[in-house]
Amino acid sequence: MRDGNLKDLAVPLIDIRFSNKCNYKCRICNSDYSSLWYEEELKTGRTEPSKAKEMKPAMDDAKFWESFERLLPDVERLHFAGGEPLFMDEHYRTLEHLIAIGKTDVNLTYNTNFSTLRYKKNNVIDLWNKFRKVDVWASLDDMGDRGDYQRKGQRWRDIEDNIRTLQRECPPAVFGVNVTVNIFNVLQVPEFYRYMVENKFVQHDRMNLYLLFFPHYFSIVNLSPALKQKAVQQFESLESELLNRLPDASKIRNHVQAVITHMMSENGTKQKEFRHWIKAIDNVRGENFSSIFPELAEMMLEKE
């Protein structure tokens, strides 16, 4: 309208993070994105006691839902993140509302730890099967004990079971993996990629490598020259043993090159902070970094 008001408001894309509620406390995360981190941050001095443990999208719950649900009839794509969206009541309320108003042609997209397909009375597979398309991007950094250490709360066997269930029971869903490349996993990323592709858990072009910049002491620039060279060799082996056999590996090659370029871009100076926070969290959780990552144990040694 001439006065600047909008008579009708149609929003095609909504990116919603209802809260920081999460069932994980990943090493590379903090309480801004995971409510489970709150107590440990208090114990280790990483946050102030006045900070809220669980955040909400609005002070007035009724007004929030009134305004949010008013947008849903016109939405074309609805993206959920968190926290952990599959662990949030608000997420399921939204899906049920969309189904109730007949708005199932919307594309649902997710950033999720993919730890659970059931929450309270909800089976997310049953709900997803009512929609046209569901694009699931799981945040997975490694498998087995290494993965479970990095993403505290993860049980790798459950992740594999959930992927198989999704592939078997949910035709509208497309699965992908986002890997955050950091000190913990850079040496293992090539093997992780190979495992996921060769076991058909993910299509070869549905696995992304994202660089971690914060916390800065977990960045791969802080690796020693020898460990950096070992990482490069692992990626070179991936190229010769797998990527050369794929029909089009340009995407993952670009991601690998970005990882190597960043890793070699500087000699990081945050090793002391790395050791401090590894020891602090290991002490709280009763874990031992060097036993899980013997190939990185030298990073825990004080330099002369």
Q: Which of 9-13, 93-97, 178-182 has the lowest mean pLDDT?
A: 9-13
Task: Please check whether residue 32 is in contact with residue 186, taking contact to mean a CB–CB distance below 8 angstroms.
Answer: no
**Rounded to whole angstroms, how far apart are CA atoms 9 and 51?**
35
Q: Above 60 in pLDDT, residue 304?
A: no
Mean pLDDT of 275-291: 97
Q: Facing residues of 211 across strands?
A: 181
DSSP letter string over the chain? -TTS--S----SEEEE------S-EETT--TTT-TTHHHHHHHHTSS-TTS-SS--S-S-HHHHHHHHHHHGGG-SEEEE-SS-GGG-HHHHHHHHHHHHTT---SEEEEEE----SEETTEEHHHHHTTSSEEEEEEE----HHHHHHHEET--HHHHHHHHHHHHHH-TTEEEEEEEEE-TTTTTTHHHHHHHHHHTTSS-TTSEEEEE--SSGGGSGGGS-HHHHHHHHHHHHHHHHHTGGGSS--HHHHHHHHHHHHHHTS-----HHHHHHHHHHHHHHHT--HHHH-GGGGGGGSPP-
Q: Is the peptide bond before 215 cis (omega within 30 degrees of 0)?
A: yes
**Rounded to whole angstroms, how far apart are CA atoms 215 and 163?**
29
What confidence score (pLDDT) does residue 1 get? 59
Q: Above 80 in pLDDT, residue 6?
A: no
Q: Rounded to two decimals, what is the model's pTM?
A: 0.95
Distances (CA, A) of 172 to 122, 143, 176, 290: 18, 26, 13, 42
- Please give the span between the terminal C-alpha atoms of the chain, in angstroms, as a whole number: 70
What confidence score (pLDDT) does residue 302 get? 81
**Rounded to whole angstroms, how far apart are CA atoms 46 and 69?**
36
Q: Which of 39-53, 96-110, 135-149, 268-282 has the lowest mean pLDDT?
A: 39-53
Going by their DSSP bridges, the two strands 13-16 and 77-80 should be labelled as parallel
Domain boundaries along the sequence of the chain: 1-181
pLDDT tens digits along 52-79: 888 888 889 999 999 999 999 999 999 9
Q: Above 90 in pLDDT, residue 5?
A: no
pLDDT tens digits along 220-277: 999 999 999 999 999 999 999 999 999 999 999 999 999 999 999 999 999 999 999 9
Task: Please check whether residue 34 is in contact with residue 99, taking contact to mean a CB–CB distance below 8 angstroms.
Answer: no
What confidence score (pLDDT) does residue 156 get? 98
Q: Facing residues of 112 across strands?
A: 138
Instruction: Report the percentage of the chain scoring pLDDT > 90.
Output: 91
pLDDT tens digits along 182-208: 999 999 999 999 999 999 999 999 999
pLDDT tens digits along 114-148: 999 999 999 999 999 999 999 999 999 999 999 99
CA torsion sign for 186, 190, 195, 201 is: positive
**Rounded to whole angstroms, how far apart are CA atoms 18 and 118?**
18
